[in-house]
A = this chain, B = another copy of it.
Amino acid sequence: MSNTTLESVLDKVNSPDDVKNLSINELNRLADEMREHIMTKVNTTGGHFGPNLGIIEATIALHYVFNSPKDKFVFDVSHQCYPHKMLTGRKEGFTNPEKYHTFTGYTAPEESEHDLFKVGHTSTSVSLAVGVAKARDLKGESGNVIALIGDGSLSGGEAYEGLNNAAVLGSNMIVVVNDNEMSIAPNQGGYYKNLEELRKTNGKAECNLFKAMGFDYLYVEEGNNVEALISAFSKVKDSTHPVVVHIHTEKGHGCDTALANKEGFHWILPGTLDEKAETPSEQCESYTSITTDYILGKAKKDPKVFTISPATPGAYGYTEDFRNKLGKQYVDVGIAEEHAVAFASAAASCGAKPILHVLSSFIQRTYDQLSQDLCLNNSPATILISWGAISGADATHLQVFDIPMMSNIPNLVYLAPTNKEEYLAMLDWSVEQNSYPVAIRVPFGDVVSTGVEDKTDYSVLNKFKMIEKGSDVAIVALGNFFSLGQKVKQALESVTGIKATLINPCYITGIDEKMLEDLKSNHKVVITLEDGVIDGGFGEKITRFYGNSDMKVLNFGARKEFTDRVPLEELYERYHLREDLIVQDIKACL
């Protein structure tokens, strides 16, 4: 791994205190060793690559100058916390392959007193740090509060609100702006020109966003130079007022492959560095390719169609080629989901045909914009929600809350396609219609195709599809869980002989009262299946519909809880999301 002719420096470092005793020469060697380990580990497990390589020197310098945990570091999104973990008692998670999966990829207070918050959504660090500093001041304590934030994260509104308040805190508050000239994808927005101007003038430009916001300001051009960083951080340590330290770092520093492809190496799959990563074959159809093919075709025919990504194009297969082909019909708004919804809403109101693509986890940023900017104005925008599904994800990136969050907002039509043809039909209907705000929960997983064009008229709202008419038991299987519904039907028949009714509801935001009413005549039990949290979700509306009747109703989905890297199979067992368990529950009801 590291230079074998010299004693390892990292071996000697078990806590931040150990960092303080090292010489500059040793600190530099420490950085090299850490870099090697991070590269090897992330290339083995997958994870955030470029952001962590860029922040190694700054992390060493921070721990050298400040005294964590008395001084408190607040990381933003924590894509860049690996070096911090290595210096705070968790290096084995990076040096020992057997412990590669011991620690989360994000800051986690349960792991260490050096981590303050569980963080995985962007643009929160400054706001959180203001709270940390306020508590310190009210308790009459001392110590530095240091918020780290990337230039990419600074486009988010919460960061700005935090800066505006940090500036008037009236006590110690240090904001380290980690400017690696990149968001996940290239930065988008007006303020990036100011960052560029500041870099060009070595921080001397008179017009300075941070000064305009009320901060004192310090620039460090050599953001990957431990010595320069130590000097800068030492200057602001124990500051009695808010100060920004703007450090110019390099995303992927020390790894030529990552430097040559900063976007591709933001987060990598195992083996990417050796070009051994299993990337999906281009021939293989996926809901991603179905979406991008549709958008390219539609945009070519209609100049009013455009697509919007809030800084996560990679998640949707919006490659550089795709973006270039779309030209002005593609807009990356930066990490700014609130703006994205308002922007799409207004454009749709004015006759354009926006398609906004957001992950389930990040649409959480936009409740009020969905409600006020979009739905209250009944703007016919299209919103694609991807990755909406129960998963073994980290607690910060669960994708199970979109149904409760969105589907209780008036006017929204939220659709759950179950296969390729349905998805395309819904998507095209949504783009072409002018009556409703529409969201579509893009199917998750392998493509299911019927091979038959779906000619359903989706403007007849809340009309469920009766797939198979049976009796006694009806299975209402939403979106991703339609296939589970099919399995339940089969298993139920083989166990009990009951030929159940199978329904594809299509609509998340309304119920087909007529169909549900008709079921009463020869059904005793209705079950609902949804790939998300049950509480406040789809199934409960059906239960409410039958509240005054003799129909028994069972709702299946996820519990209201934050799960953290729990294997999917375990969650399915916990939630009874297996055909055998569901059949047992149905039998108990009959």
Q: Is the CB of A333 within 8 A of B407?
A: no
Question: How far does the Cβ of A399 sit from chain B's closest Cβ, in whole Å?
Answer: 12
Q: Is the CB of B165 within 8 A of A333?
A: yes
When chains A and B are docked, how far (Å) is the Cα of A137 from the Cα of B336?
21
Contact partners of A366 in chain B: CB under 8 A:
367-368
When chains A and B are docked, how far (Å) is the Cα of A306 from the Cα of B371?
31
Check if A226 is an interface residue, CB within 8 A of chain B. no
A residues 88-131 touching B (CB-CB < 8 Å)? 109, 116-121, 124, 127-131
Chain A positions 314 through 351: 1 when the CB is less than 8 Å from some CB of chain B, otherwise 0: 00000000000000110101101011001111111111
Check if A289 is an interface residue, CB within 8 A of chain B. no
Check if A536 is an interface residue, CB within 8 A of chain B. yes
Chain A positions 235 through 252: 1 when the CB is less than 8 Å from some CB of chain B, otherwise 0: 000000010000000000
Check if A167 is an interface residue, CB within 8 A of chain B. yes
Contact partners of A396 in chain B: CB under 8 A:
372, 376
Contact partners of A342 in chain B: CB under 8 A:
124, 127-128, 131, 158, 162
Q: Is the CB of A118 within 8 A of B207?
A: no
A residues 338-392 touching B (CB-CB < 8 Å)? 338-339, 342-352, 354, 362, 364-369, 371-373, 375-377
Chain copies in the assembled complex = 2
Q: Is the CB of B158 within 8 A of A156?
A: no
Q: Is the CB of A560 within 8 A of B207?
A: no
Question: How far does the Cβ of A350 sit from chain B's closest Cβ, in whole Å?
Answer: 4
Interface range on chain A (Cβ under 8 Å from partner): 35 or more
Check if A294 is an interface residue, CB within 8 A of chain B. no
Contact partners of A127 in chain B: CB under 8 A:
338-339, 342-343, 346, 373
Q: Is the CB of A164 within 8 A of B336?
A: yes
Q: Is the CB of B161 within 8 A of A156?
A: yes
Check if A214 is an interface residue, CB within 8 A of chain B. yes
Check if A404 is an interface residue, CB within 8 A of chain B. yes
Residue from the list B134, B159, B190, B331 in contact with A352, Cβ < 8 A: B134
When chains A and B are docked, how far (Å) is the Cα of A127 from the Cα of B128?
25
Check if A547 is an interface residue, CB within 8 A of chain B. yes
Check if A437 is an interface residue, CB within 8 A of chain B. no
Q: Is the CB of A346 within 8 A of B117?
A: yes
Closest B residue by C-beta to A193: B214
When chains A and B are docked, how far (Å) is the Cα of A158 from the Cα of B228?
36
Residue from the list B135, B190, B372, B543 in contact with A346, Cβ < 8 A: B135
What are 13 sample pairs from A and B whose C-beta atoms fall under 8 A apart?
A116-B349, A128-B373, A131-B347, A135-B304, A135-B348, A135-B350, A139-B352, A161-B333, A168-B188, A189-B214, A191-B214, A364-B367, A540-B541
